[in-house]
Structure 1
C-alpha cells in the first residue's frame, strides 16, 4: 500500500522512503487485515509529522495522506464552510470500529481504490486533486475522479507516492447533499451519491461511488430535470461500470444510484428555489 509520500521541501527523507521498494505504511488497517507473506519490511509514514488539514490563503484545504479519519472528523466539527457537514457524513460512511477510525488514513483509503471508499467519495465530490511524488522528487497532480481508475486500481506509477489531496475553495462553499444505502443496516455501502450546488453560477455536480467501480462526477451547468439526469447517468456509466459483489448486484446498484441522485437533485434545486 502506498498511501502517502515525502513532503515538499523534505528531500532528505525521500531516499529512506524509496529504499528497497518496501511498502509504505500509513495506518495499516488494510495491510494488516490479511496475510502478506511477500512483505519483509515496511516504511512507516505515520511519524513524518505532516500537518493533517492545512488551510491555504486562497481558501483551499489540503489534507495530508497520513491524516486519520478520526482527525479529519475532529477538524470538520469546527470547520466553518458550507461543505463541512459532508466531511462527517463521509467519515460515518466507513464500515469501521473506533479503532479503525483512529488508524485508517485518507491516503490509504484513496490508494486502496475500493468502490466503497468514503474518502474517495468525499474528495471526488469536492473536485479534489491529489499530489503525487515520484522517486526522483518530481511532482504531478491529478483529479481524484481520474486517480481511481477501477475497483482497486489507481493512476499510481511504480514507486510513486500520494502526498496529499487538495480541495478547492470553490467546492468548499457549495451546498451539499448526501445519500448512502447498504443491503444491511451496518453493511458496506452499496451506493453512495453526493451532490454539490455552486452558489456562484448555479451549476450542479453529482458524484456516484460505491455503486460503480470508480467514481463518476457528473457536472451540469444548470440543474437538469429528472429525465435529463437519468439519461446523463446512463450515458456516462456503462453496464460494466456498475460494481458486482456480495454487497449488491449491478442492477440493484444502478437502481439505487438513480433513485438517490434524483432525491439529491430535488433537495438541492428546491432549496435553491429552482
Structure 2
C-alpha cells in the first residue's frame, strides 16, 4: 500500500546519523505491517537498511540476532551440533501466518515490536532467555529480557524514539533440550497457543507460554514436575483475564489448549531424559 502522507525518508548509516525523533516518524525495517494499511499519522520513515547490522552473529556467548534480521535468514542459520534447541528456531519461523514473500522480508525485530500475542519470534526469544538491546532516544542504551519487553497485546517497553537493536540468546539456552507445541483454530491459522519447554542439565524444567496469553509467561521448576503440579502452577501463574480473546480463539479454549500442550511437553522432555 502506498503511504501518501510520507514526505521524507531518512537513510542513516550510523547511529550518530539517526535523526532526532519527532511526531510522525516511524522506523522502517521489513515494513510488512507498515505498508499493509494506511498510516495517516506518519510523515517520515527512518530506513534502517543502510545501518548494515550483521543479521546473525555466533560467538562464545551465544547467538546475537539483529533486529533487522529477516525470518528467512534466521531459518537458514546453520547451528552448531551441540545446540539442542536448534529445531525450535525453525519451528518458530514456520509458525508465521505469512506467505513466502513476507517470510523473506519480515524481520525478527519487527515481530517483537508489533508485540502481538501470536508473534512467533517473541515465543522463540522468550523461551531461549533472549535479552533485547534498546538504543534509547536520548543516546543511552539498556537491556531488557524479552519476557519483560512485551507488556501486553501490542504493548511493549519502547518509548517514542527508542530503537530495538538486537536480541542476544545465551549459549546455555541454546544447548538445552527443548520441545515445541503450537495449535491454531484452523489448519493454517494464527497461533492460538504456543508453548515451548526446555530441560536444563541439572534437570530443571523451563516452560514458556505465548500466543494464548497477552504477554509471554515463564514458569520454572527445579525438577520435572508431576502432571498435577504442572497444571496447578499454570493455573496460578496465568489468571483467566490474562488469556487473549479474539477471533482466533476464545480465552477458555486457549486456556485448555495451554494446559494440554504443557502436559505434552512435560511428558516429552521427561521421557527424553537420559
Report Cα offsets for 1:55-112 as digits up to 9, x if no partner: 1223x1110000000010111x444311111110000000000110111000000000
1:170 maps to 172
Q: How many residues align?
A: 262
Bigger mean CA deviation after superposition, 41-50 or 239-248:
41-50
Map 1:146-157 onto structure 2 (within 5 A): 146-157=148-159
CA distance in 2, matches of 1:197, 1:249: 30
**TM-score w.r.t. length of structure 2:** 0.92
**Structure 1: unaligned runs, 5 residues or longer:** 1-5
1:192 maps to 194
Higher relative contact order (CA 8 A, sep 6+): 1
Contact 2:127 2:207 in 1 (8 A): yes
How far has the Cα of 1:116 moved from its partner? 0.2
How far has the Cα of 1:12 moved from its partner? 2.4
Report Cα offsets for 1:207-265 as digits up to 9, x if no partner: 11010000001111111110110111010101110000000000000000100000000
RMSD of aligned Cα (Å): 1.5
How far has the Cα of 1:136 moved from its partner? 2.4
Contact 1:124 1:145 in 2 (8 A): yes
Q: Please state if 1:35 is matched with 2:28.
A: no
Q: 2:56 aligns with which of 50, 53, 56?
A: 53
Contact 2:24 2:41 in 1 (8 A): no
> Which SS does the other structure have where 1:136 is aligned?
coil
> Which SS does the other structure have where 2:44 is aligned?
coil
CA distance in 2, matches of 1:11, 1:212: 35
CA distance in 1, matches of 2:250, 2:269: 28
> Which SS does the other structure have where 2:51 is aligned?
coil
CA distance in 2, matches of 1:266, 1:20: 51
CA distance in 1, matches of 2:20, 2:170: 28
How far has the Cα of 1:54 moved from its partner? 0.7
**TM-score w.r.t. length of structure 1:** 0.92
1:139 maps to 141
2:9 maps to none
- When residues 17 and 79 of structure 1 are mapped into structure 2, their CA distance, relative to the original with a 3 A threshold, is farther
2:257 maps to 256
Contact 1:193 1:257 in 2 (8 A): yes
Contact 1:203 1:222 in 2 (8 A): yes
